[in-house]
Amino acid sequence: MHAAQSFSYATSQVWQPAVYAHPDAPAALAAGSHWGQQLARLLLGMQGVYIYDHRARMMCYVSEGVAKLTGVPVAEFTGERNFALIHPDDLPIVQEATRLFNQFIYAYRRSIGPDIVASIDYRLCRPDGSCRRVLRHNSVLEQEPETGNPVLVAAILTDITAHKHTTDVRFHLNHPDFTDFVARQPRLRAQPILNCARAASDAASDAGPDQPPDCPAAFRE
């Protein structure tokens, strides 16, 4: 499954036009830019933020911090490009975790707010061949009033390369019903997340603390 299919599976297949009262509404570019600039002012040097409009299916804001961390220029950073940067060994879990996050938001859309945060960490392969470990936090910023479905969703990326030296992928969502929600999903689709959660506490890589994350040759230019 290539990056565009992975991104579609994780996001677009959940946020179909039919779930919105106004699917043809223009992208919330002004609001997204405002949110992004406000958040970017609060971030540290190893962080970046992007704002995605799920209803319009487009990126509304990308900070320079994202470009610095990923090695992708602001103008070229899209949802599909974002997924294309994920290490191929981590992509299936990140993809499944993102899908579950979106499905949970849809199921609980009337009780979801900015205080509900999903987090996941994974390896990100930059265009220059280097690889970084990234922690991503997602939160809903604005919802469609009629349906409660998300319009603007924020993602904050943090470079944790200096702090994590294992290759396990950890995923968490701070809602008391999320664990039961995942357990009720079809086994074959949810199992990677459940296995990951159980293995995360003792998973470790062979790489020592002074070794960079492994980046496949296919990602090196």
Q: What is the pTM of this model?
A: 0.85
What share of the chain in percent tops pLDDT 70? 82
Under the banding of pLDDT at 50, 70 and 90, the label for residue 6 is confident
Residues 190-211: pLDDT tens digits? 555 655 554 444 444 444 444 4
Type of residue numbered 76: E
The arrangement of strands across the sheet holding 58-62 comes to: 58-62, 47-53, 150-159, 131-143, 117-125, 171-173
CB 98, CB 189: distance < 8 Å: no
79 vs 2, which has greater pLDDT?
79
Lowest-pLDDT range of 105-114, 152-161, 182-191: 182-191
Looking from the CA of 24 toward its CB, the CA atoms found within 13 Å total 0
pLDDT given for residue 5 in this prediction: 76
- Beta strands, E only, 13-159: 47-53, 58-62, 117-125, 131-143, 150-159
Residue ranges and CATH numbers for the domains of the chain are: 3-11+27-219 (3.30.450.20)
- The two three-digit tokens of residue 169, written as one number: 């992928």
CB 116, CB 80: distance < 8 Å: no
Q: Give the torsion sign (CA, 84, 68, 125, 44).
A: negative
Question: How far out from the chain centre does Cα 109 lie?
Answer: 18
